[in-house]
Amino acid sequence: MSSSNSPASQSSNNYVEQTVSVLSSVASYMRLPALASTVRTPKLLALKSQSQNQRPRPQSSPDTDINALLHRVSLPSSPRYYTLSKSPYTTPLVSISISISVPVFFLSLPPFHYCSTRIIILPRPALTTCIRALIYPSNIPANSRSDVPKPSDFGLSNFEELYIPTDDGEKLSAFYIRGPRGHKNSNITILMFHGNAGNIGHRLPIARMIINYIGCNVFMLEYRGYGSSTGQPDESGLNIDAQTGLNYLRQRAETRDHKLMVYGQSLGGAVAIKLVSKNQEAGDIAGLILENTFLSIRKLIPSVVPPAKYLTLLCHQVWPSESVLPNITKVPTLFISGLQDEIVPPKHMKQLYEISAAPTKRWKPLPAGDHNSSVLEEGYFEAMSDFIAEVTDDQEKEKTRS
């Protein structure tokens, strides 16, 4: 999908400029590919441009063209590095030796620069804090806890901003965004779980594409410790949050009879897998959509930070998707994999696809997609739309037969 030169496209310039203005406030955001991976982006955009010039592109309107929302953002001229300082702790409970001086990416983080260090001695509580900071960088980009774009910033007017309580006392912010009234998919709601940094507002261009291209409603739930939600993130807490979001949709009058699609990107894929595995028996989850997620955090660490491969057992945040996914036997699953993913090796997604026991499973490879750019690849939203149509039609046929 690319921006069209049609009159409709040209007349939308003002809207696009407003969109770019909002996105510029989160210019280091790592899930929106046009804004991220500053080390690789110039080359990436050049390759995309060359590829796009070699093949015909369908006409598209500003409402169904994610490039019109993302592609015009100016990028930083040089990579931004975040340096980990040497530890002041001296309690010899856990010893860590890191010696690496190249930029690395962790899930959806901007480049972290790990400077060569001496042996770092960390007490176990400090190690726990460090691990959480790496896996759940909710303050990146800057002001992510306070600056949350709204759907109205992206031309989405039919929405509700919500605060939903959890059973353990947290309050989760959320957006419920309605699709076009009267659309054939207006009885489908997508529960969307994002990657490990930024906030739900940063994913609104993706939500807008889903709404305008597919016609579904989108429920964007914010994890604890992210955006405007209270609390501190960890694996058990995020699982509580996901269940809270699903329970809300099941109890809400407007959505209790909707077909639900659970959609997770990167870390959000692990959240989605766990949620669906626990809730598939109810029959209201029509499908699971996974993009660029991993087998487990422990199996991902050696690919991201090779010197830390001997410390994986110390990582208390496990997210064991490879052992949970085979338990999903009643929910169709779509696997969207960027084959140039530089963070989660594509073999993680392929192995998840192979071990899946879903009644229907679909594999969508994106040959030029990396961890941050897959959503921009041709066929991404088409695959999502086709999958939703397939599984919801199958459900209707099953109801008719019964």
Residue 141 counted as domain residue: no
> For the segment 231-265, what is each residue's pLDDT rounded down to a tens digit?
999 999 999 999 999 999 999 999 999 999 999 99
Do 115 and 176 belong together in one domain?
no
**Could you say which of 321, 356, 371, 373 is catalytic?**
371
pLDDT band at 123 (very low <50, low <70, confident <90, very high): low
> For the segment 205-219, what is each residue's pLDDT rounded down to a tens digit?
999 999 999 999 999
Do 241 and 377 belong together in one domain?
yes
Cα diameter, the chain? 68
Do 348 and 289 belong together in one domain?
yes
**Helix 267-279 with 235-251: angle, nearest 10 deg:** 60
Do 64 and 99 belong together in one domain?
no
pLDDT of residue 303: 86
Do 164 and 128 belong together in one domain?
no
Sheet of 112-113, strand order: 82-83, 112-113, 103-104
Do 202 and 342 belong together in one domain?
yes
Do 28 and 118 belong together in one domain?
no
Range of the domain at 92: 82-135
| Percent of the chain residues past pLDDT 90, beyond the cut | 60
Do 14 and 108 belong together in one domain?
no
Token pair belonging to 141: 């980009």
Catalytic, 341? Answer: yes
Do 272 and 252 belong together in one domain?
yes
**DSSP state string for 265-324:** ETHHHHHHHHHHHHHGGGS-EEEEEEES--S-HHHHHHHH-GGGGGGGGG------HHHH
Q: Are strands 259-265 and 285-291 parallel, antiparallel or unpaired?
A: parallel
Q: What are phi and psi of 364, to 5 degrees?
A: -120, 95
Q: What is the mean pLDDT of residues 42-67?
A: 47
Residue 77 counted as domain residue: no
> For the segment 149-168, what is each residue's pLDDT rounded down to a tens digit?
999 999 999 999 999 999 99
pLDDT of residue 398: 65
With contact defined as beta carbons under 8 Å apart, do 379 and 366 qualify? yes
pLDDT of residue 261: 99
**Could you say which of 341, 356, 370, 374 is catalytic?**
341
Number of domains in the chain: 3
Domain boundary among 39, 70, 101: 70
Q: What is the identity of the amino acid at 387? A: F
pLDDT of residue 268: 98
Domain boundary among 23, 45, 70: 70
Residue 319 counted as domain residue: yes
**Could you say which of 266, 277, 356, 374 is catalytic?**
266
Q: What is the mean pLDDT of residues 46-52?
A: 44
Do 130 and 260 belong together in one domain?
no
Do 125 and 189 belong together in one domain?
no
pLDDT of residue 84: 30
Catalytic, 266? Answer: yes
Q: What is the identity of the amino acid at 112? A: F
Do 260 and 296 belong together in one domain?
yes
pLDDT at 304 over 80: yes
Angle (nearest 5°) at CA 243 between 209 and 399: 70
